Amino acid sequence: MRFRHRAAAGFATLLLPFAGLVGLASPAQAATSATATYAKTQDWGSGFEGKWTVKNTGTTTLSSWAVEWDFPSGTSVTSSWDADVTSAGTHWTAKNKSWNGTLAPGASVSFGFNGSGTGSPANCKLNGGSCDGGTTEPGDSAPSAPGTPTASDITDTSVKLSWSAATDDKGVKNYDVLRDGSKVATVTGTSYTGTGLTAGTDYSFSVQARDTADQTGPVSGAVRVRTTGGTTEPPPTGDKVKLGYFTEWGVYGRNYHVKNLVTSGTASKITHINYAFGNVKNGQCTVDDTYAAYDKAYAADQSVSGTADTWDQPLRGNFNQLRQLKAKYPHIKVLYSFGGWTYSGGFGQAAANAAAFAKSCKAVVEDPRWADVFDGIDIDWEYPNACGLSCDTSGPAAFRNLMSALRTEFGQNYLVTAAITADGSSGGKIDAADYGGAAQHLDWYNVMTYDYFGAFDKDGPTAPHSPLTSYPGIPQAGFDSADAIAKLKAKGVPAKKLLLGIGFYGRGWTGVTQSAPGGSATGAAPGTYEAGIEDYKVLKNSCPATGTIAGTAYAHCGSNWWSYDTPSTIAGKMSWAKNQGLGGAFFWEFSGDTAGGELATAIDSGLK
């Protein structure tokens, strides 16, 4: 996808309202040998600048830190840096960022804030212990992680969990049992029976040890449990896959949130959601924008459930909203998509150690805070052994090997899919990697049958960016959906494992005088977010279609020329997909549709 990741990188560093911030790292280990010291570095009468310094004075590495203190009434933090700061009344908590939580012996880290008022901090605690380095038992280490729980005796309303014991130098006192990231019980043994569950519902359970000094260790791996019974509602949309991409960064400038899937009526017409995108760094999967993913607070009127997020709840942001959406529409499956146009540069390193990469991806998908949210993983590598934003030279077998490792790691209970090139030309991108061999490990391919032509060729010729078939005068042979699907089938990919791609946007040129396709241009037409690109919901009114070519609409208005899909052209493409025996369709992305879900409705209707 040529323009997939418009990740609002700047938004990740914007100053956020403190009432909306919360650190969601694993519960910090109690300080064994560490100190937290405070200094007022500036004072301008009505306000001040403060700085905390956390130092590891022990002999073992500190994996995370949290500083707590009280301010007198009238004194508060107004902004901060290098820590996530939250408050509950006059009590303040600062937790490490993802990049500065680990402190080797002797190392220190500082974070600062601006404040209003004249008060000073009191009642300081560091990781639950004294800020001067003292604990109930100096030198006492936190316990290890217990083993991942196993589930048995699953009924409509209960499940039995058991796990291998954690270890601790002074002894383990008990275990906290976490359900969907929230503590539901504390037990002294290594088993627990959870009751009061809902029939036919997915849950995620993990455990955490607590030692005799009340220090908590790291959280175990998570086990997914689905209770028996209930009314397992079949997807209301037939037996075809109908999948849409939800962009992580869309919650910013686009102001598009999970609740929009409900208000537009789209949620009842899709079967799957790909959450885009996780990043690929240092050969590993990682969450990209943590604020949007699991920290952003939603008010009651913005939330799928109609309940406002609280400052201290374990999970917020898009992940929590997706959890609420799945509770309301249990037929929907959610996959975590990694890569995309911007983040595909990391796949070459990932492929060099595919097993380690797969393990890291599963750790992200199964994070105990949101393990119940995701039903699978989608890999969007643009492009293996070929060029996209960057060029990959990992060889034709790298993609197949990566997919094999993912299936081995995730097993058969998860969906494993991939978004792939639709370059059907001879010697093109489909020929560069073993898509046929990789197909045996995947549930399906999202074939990106769009972005074939656009104002990245600023002089034109004008052409539909998502042609279903070839046509006389097409600028590049093989750049159409039919040729791409035919080539993939010829390489041994079953038709049912191929989804046809639909763009919920148009691509356009300016400086165009010819209404029919094939005209010259002078550059990209103006767009709301990027020149040469515009959402369908805008184009349907600003530049209505004036014709069709190769199963796709085009429009000439003034000096601008656009191509895009409409409900009518989507109906034709869905009919073609069914006749080809394809597994369904997918689209990029939800926010380009109208407020009433016009295009999603066309896909749903066309695949019935």
In angstroms, rounded to a whole number, what is the distance separating the alpha carbons of residues 570 and 205?
A: 42
Active-site positions read 382
3-state secondary structure of 406: helix
Identify residue 502 by its one-letter amino acid code. I
In angstroms, rounded to a whole number, what is the distance separating the alpha carbons of residues 566 and 552?
A: 8
CA 360 to each of CA 341, 364, 402: distance values in angstroms, whole numbers, following the listed order: 21, 7, 13
Strand 202-211 to 223-226 pairing = antiparallel
In angstroms, rounded to a whole number, what is the distance separating the alpha carbons of residues 185 and 314?
A: 15
In angstroms, rounded to a whole number, what is the distance separating the alpha carbons of residues 315 and 292?
A: 11
Continuous H helices in 366-449:
398-410, 435-438
Rounding to the nearest 10 degrees, give the CA dihedral for residues 319, 324, 327, 330: -60
Question: Among positive and negative, which fits the CA dihedral 285, 291, 294, 295?
Answer: positive
| Secondary structure (H, E, C), 197-265 | CCCCCEEEEEEEEEECCCCECCCCCCEEEECCCCCCCCCCCCCCEEEEEEEHHHHCCCCCCCHHHHHCC
Q: Which residues touch 273 (CB under 8 Å, ≥6 apart)?
A: 243, 244, 245, 246, 261, 322, 332, 333, 334, 335
Structure tokens at 221: 């791996």
